[in-house]
Amino acid sequence: MQRTATAVWNGSLKTGTGRVSTESKTIVDTPYTFATRFESGTKGTNPEELLGASHAGCFTMMTSALLGAAGFTADSIETQATVTLEQVEGNWTLTKVALQTKAKVPGISAEKFAEIAAQAKAQCPISRVLKAEISLDAKLV
């Protein structure tokens, strides 16, 4: 399976604007700017926020799958992902993702849930994404 997302940027880094879209049309021409990415309190999205949403969604689904494999069904699982973007040796770097999840799972012990959540964190494809091969085809038009 492959999915496609697109980003377009016009103008300079600080005064330009960009937009992101997904193949599914769930996100369509959603704007982002330098300010929405690097300045606190500015409304709008940024790549790190979108990665956080992806990670929260992926982890939550993986948790549900692993619960099911262990014979449990969650009434609800809610996950928040906080992504930290910092300067490391002069380069902007995603240094942390903090996953916070709350679940209502009938019949499970706290220990078993913690074990399953740890497995979900390790196995979720978004958790593993930076270990993936990244290819590039760059052309001037």
How sure is the predictor about 135, in pLDDT bands with cuts at 50, 70 and 90?
confident
pLDDT for the residue numbered 140 = 62
Q: Determine whether 31 is exposed, middle or buried from the number of CB atoms within 10 Å of its CB (0-12, 13-18, 19+).
A: exposed
- Structure-model confidence comparison of residues 133 and 52, the more confident one: 52
pLDDT for the residue numbered 91 = 92
- pLDDT 10s digits, 1-53: 899 999 999 999 999 999 999 999 999 999 999 999 988 888 889 999 999 99
Domains and CATH numbers, the chain: 1-45 (no CATH), 47-141 (3.30.300.20)
pLDDT for the residue numbered 133 = 74
- pLDDT 10s digits, 90-117: 998 888 999 999 999 999 999 999 999 9
pLDDT for the residue numbered 10 = 97
Which of 7-16, 62-71, 82-91 comes out lowest in average pLDDT?
Answer: 82-91
Cβ atoms of 14 and 34 closer than 8 Å: yes
pLDDT for the residue numbered 132 = 65
pLDDT for the residue numbered 45 = 93
Give φ, ψ of 117 to 5 degrees.
Answer: -65, -40
Q: Per residue in 55-70, is it b (16+ CB within 10 Å) or e — as a string?
A: bbebbbebbbebbeee
On the question of pLDDT at 138 being above 90, the answer is no
